[in-house]
């Protein structure tokens, strides 16, 4: 093999081994928690996880995801990367003031009819707030390692922290202390360990300025702004099945949807390919191979998806064995959740190409929102969301609508060209605004 091909194979093998091990440990831990917790306790744990995902998206607003594309070929300029990291973390800190109180009110009204103990409600809410406070480190210190292809270091950290979470939950189970609250706080500690470790691993790759450079902040905002409404919308969409069941259903329904979501975690490994392999591949392309590469990937995904859905339809018990006896009757639901995951993966891959090529426009964001909203409103009006099956079917329809919108967005963007040319920012001055004392302390 040529040296270039050898390098690509090595990256792919590192990704498959590292990501597979990290996600495998997380999946195993999640499945064990699913088996260890009673249905009511697991409904609490699943709902809290949904809130964590929603709040993280509301705090980040996609700024962490802009770093790879905006850095482009300037990967060896540590000050460039550092300015983006500092600017993004400062914006995340500011968003906490608005997002956390809003989510706390939303959480209260959603859970008050579920008859949870007050102490459980409070401790779970505090775990949500704590997790989103520490998750910013993981969000912003992942990009430098990915840019420099330090996948071994990156996955070593993920594997060790996943192993910590698994061992900690097992010890709690053996002591008889495993509950929704204790499991949620183990997650908080795991997220904090991951973030601190990633930051330490980036010390020689990132030089963060003592002050935030407003020019970098403006560039990140300008790049991400058209996609912010879509990110907030999709953050809610990702958890809407659980939220609808929590609002109109019962603890059992929440537990069933959350349990099926564990099956959906199989796609987490596949979705990681987008950020680690697909995005850098398309970001460095000179533009001449984008369409060919995209359709090659689409063909591969369609073949694999058809095989996976067919296997699940013929042998649903294989996947249901992972969930345990409490969820053995969800035979048809598991087929729909796999179909939803396959559609979602293809949609995510298409979005990754759009992001890597800097093809984000206001128009394309609202096309996505409109199509998904129409599909969901139509489903709720004509079918209704009264059971886990209906919630999952609505998720499939939403994923299909989003995929159609993203395909349109991609080819609209390719025809129009990138909205931001990174070359014009090659010599950005390092003018800056000082952090407040509180912001500096939090950032440091």
Q: Is residue 437 situated within a structural domain?
A: no
Top pLDDT among 234 and 110 is at: 110
Tell me which range, 70-74, 101-105, 415-419, is most confidently predicted by mean pLDDT: 101-105
pLDDT digits (tens, 9 = 90+) for 115-164: 889 999 999 999 998 988 888 888 888 888 888 878 888 889 999 999 99
Residues in the chain: 444
Backbone region of residue 149 per phi and psi (left: phi > 0; alpha: psi in -120 to 50; beta: other values): left
Cα radius of gyration (the chain): 22
Q: 234 or 348: whose pLDDT is higher?
A: 348
Confirm whether 173 is domain-assigned.
yes
Q: Which domain holds residue 174?
A: 12-421
Mean pLDDT of 252-278: 74
For 13, list phi and psi in degrees, rounded to 5: -65, -40
Cα 396 vs. chain centroid, distance in angstroms?
18
Gap between the Cα atoms of 272 and 279, Å rounded? 10
Residue 59 lies in a domain: yes
The CB-side HSE value for 395 (13 A sphere, CA atoms) comes to 32
Q: What is the pLDDT of residues 204-228, one digit of tens each?
A: 888 888 888 888 888 888 877 766 7
The overall pTM is greater than 0.75? no
| Count: domains in the chain | 1
Distance CA 104, CA 129 (A): 9
pLDDT > 60? residue 422: no
**98 burial via Cβ count (<10 Å: 0-12, 13-18, 19+):** exposed
3-state helix/strand/coil string of the chain: CCHHHHHHHHHHHHHHHHHHHHHHHHHHHHHHHHHHCCHHHHHHHHHHHHHHHHHHHHHHCCCHHHHHHHHCCCCCCHHHHHHHHHHHHHHHHHHHHHHHHHHHHHHHHHHHHHCCCHHHHHHHHHHHHHHHHHHHHHHHHHHHHHHCCCHHHHHHHHHHHHHHHHHHHHHHHHHCCCCHHHHHHHHHHHHHHHHHHHHHHCCCCCCCCCCECHHHHHHHHHHHHHHHHHHHHHHHHHHHHHHHHHHHCCHHHHHHHHHHHHHHCHHHHHHHHHHHHHHHHHHCCCCCCHHHHHHHHHHHHHHHHHHHHHHHHHCHHHHHCCCCHHHCCCHHHHHHHHHHHHHHHHHHHHHHHHHHCCCCCHHHHHHHHHHHHHHHHHHHHHCCCCCHHHHHHHHHHHHHHHHHHHHHHHHHHHHHCCCCCHHHHCCCCCCCECCCHHHHHHHC
Q: Could you report the per-residue pLDDT of 274-332, keeping only the tens digit for each?
A: 776 777 777 776 667 788 888 888 999 899 999 999 999 999 888 888 887 888 888 88
Quote the pLDDT of residue 285: 67
Q: What is the pLDDT of residue 234?
A: 62
For residue 48, the number of C-alpha atoms closer than 13 Å in the C-beta half-sphere is 30
Q: How far apart are CA 211 and CA 418, in angstroms?
A: 30
**Mean pLDDT, residues 380-391:** 80
Q: What is the pLDDT of residue 425?
A: 43
**Does the residue 430 lie in any domain?**
no
Is residue 233 included in any domain, yes or no?
yes
Judge whether residue 242 has pLDDT over 60: yes
2 within some domain? no
* Rounded CA separation 88/217 (Å): 7
State the chain's mean pLDDT as an integer: 80
Backbone angles phi, psi at 415, to 5 degrees: -70, -40
Structural domain contains residue 196: yes
Q: Which of 58-67, 195-204, 330-339, 418-427 has the lowest mean pLDDT?
A: 418-427
Nearest one of 336, 337, 319 to 328, comparing CA atoms = 319
- Give the model's confidence band at 426: pLDDT under 50 very low, under 70 low, under 90 confident, else very high: very low
Label residue 181 by pLDDT band (50, 70, 90): very high
Would residue 440 count as lying in a domain?
no
């Amino acid at each position: 093999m040529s040296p270039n091909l050898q390098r690509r194979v090595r990256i792919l093998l590192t990704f498959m081994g590292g990501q597979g091990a990290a996600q495998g440990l997380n999946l195993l831990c999640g499945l064990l928690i699913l088996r260890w917790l009673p249905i009511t306790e697991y409904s609490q744990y699943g709902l809290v996880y949904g809130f964590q995902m929603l709040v993280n998206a509301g705090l980040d607003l996609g700024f962490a995801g802009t770093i790879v594309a905006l850095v482009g070929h300037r990967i060896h300029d540590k000050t460039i990367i550092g300015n983006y990291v500092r600017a993004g973390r400062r914006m995340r800190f500011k968003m906490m003031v608005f997002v956390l109180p809003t989510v706390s009110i939303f959480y209260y009204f959603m859970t008050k009819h579920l008859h949870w103990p007050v102490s459980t409600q409070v401790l779970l809410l505090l775990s949500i707030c704590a997790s989103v406070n520490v998750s910013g480190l993981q969000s912003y210190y992942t990009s430098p390692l990915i840019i420099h292809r330090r996948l071994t270091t990156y996955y070593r950290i993920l594997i060790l922290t996943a192993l910590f979470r698994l061992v900690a939950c097992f010890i709690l189970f053996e002591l008889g202390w495993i509950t929704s609250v204790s499991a949620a706080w183990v997650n908080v500690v795991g997220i904090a360990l991951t973030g601190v470790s990633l930051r330490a691993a980036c010390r020689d790759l990132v030089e963060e300025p003592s002050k935030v450079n407003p020019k970098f902040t403006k560039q990140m905002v300008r790049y991400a702004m058209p996609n912010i409404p879509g990110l907030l919308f999709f953050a809610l969409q990702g958890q809407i099945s659980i939220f609808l069941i929590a609002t109109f259903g019962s603890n059992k329904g929440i537990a069933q949807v959350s349990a099926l979501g564990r099956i959906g975690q199989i796609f987490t490994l596949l979705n990681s390919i987008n950020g680690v392999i697909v995005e850098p591949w398309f970001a460095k392309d000179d533009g001449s191979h984008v369409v060919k590469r995209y359709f090659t990937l689409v063909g591969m995904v369609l073949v694999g998806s058809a095989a996976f859905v067919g296997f699940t339809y013929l042998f649903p018990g294989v996947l249901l064995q992972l969930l345990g006896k409490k969820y053995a009757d969800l035979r048809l639901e598991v087929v729909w959740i796999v179909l939803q995951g396959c559609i979602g993966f293809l949609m995510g891959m298409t979005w990754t190409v759009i992001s890597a090529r800097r093809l984000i426009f206001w128009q394309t964001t609202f096309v996505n929102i409109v199509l998904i909203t129409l599909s969901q409103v139509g489903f709720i009006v004509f079918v209704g969301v009264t059971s886990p099956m209906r919630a999952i079917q609505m998720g499939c329809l939403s994923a299909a609508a989003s995929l159609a919108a993203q395909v349109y967005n991609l080819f609209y963007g390719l025809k129009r060209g990138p909205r931001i040319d990174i070359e014009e920012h090659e010599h950005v001055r390092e003018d800056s605004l000082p952090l407040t004392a509180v912001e500096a302390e939090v950032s440091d």
